[in-house]
Amino acid sequence: MLGFAILLTFHLTGMLLQYGLHVPLPANVIGLALFTLALFFKLIKLEWVESAALFLNRHMLLFFAPIVAGTLVFFPEIKRHAAAILISLAGSWLAVLLAGGWTTRLLLGCAKKTAGSADSKEECA
């Protein structure tokens, strides 16, 4: 129970900071950032919250049940726009795939062969 109390305290602190200071971040993100800092600075021991965190992770699917039920309410609307949804999903998937690949190549230092170094082979790690 101590783990749940600690996690809930950080969540509620995040809510108070968001509403009180009008921070443009979700309350759970603020609470999680504060919790991470508390763990980092050893204000809280991992053992205190580990069992509660494992329990919440095991039952995470229950937190998504309302979202799935809410989606079913809009199923006729989704069905009507299915082609546009699928095309936008495929297009965004391809854009993220290409951007990720190009960014990785750039960060690893891979470049196209230049005309002066046509005989040298550059490989990516």
Which pLDDT score is estimated for 124?
55
Secondary structure of 73-97 in HEC code, one letter for each residue: HCHHHHHHCHHHHHHHHHHHHHHHH
Which pLDDT score is estimated for 63?
79
Which pLDDT score is estimated for 115?
45
Which pLDDT score is estimated for 72?
85
Q: What is the mean pLDDT of each run of 10 residues along the chain (125 residues)?
A: 92 94 91 94 92 89 81 89 96 97 86 50 54
State pTM to two decimals: 0.53
Which pLDDT score is estimated for 67?
81
- With the C-alpha atoms ordered 90, 96, 32, 15, is the resulting torsion angle positive or negative? negative
Could you give the CA distance from residue 10 to residue 4 in angstroms, rounded to a whole number?
10
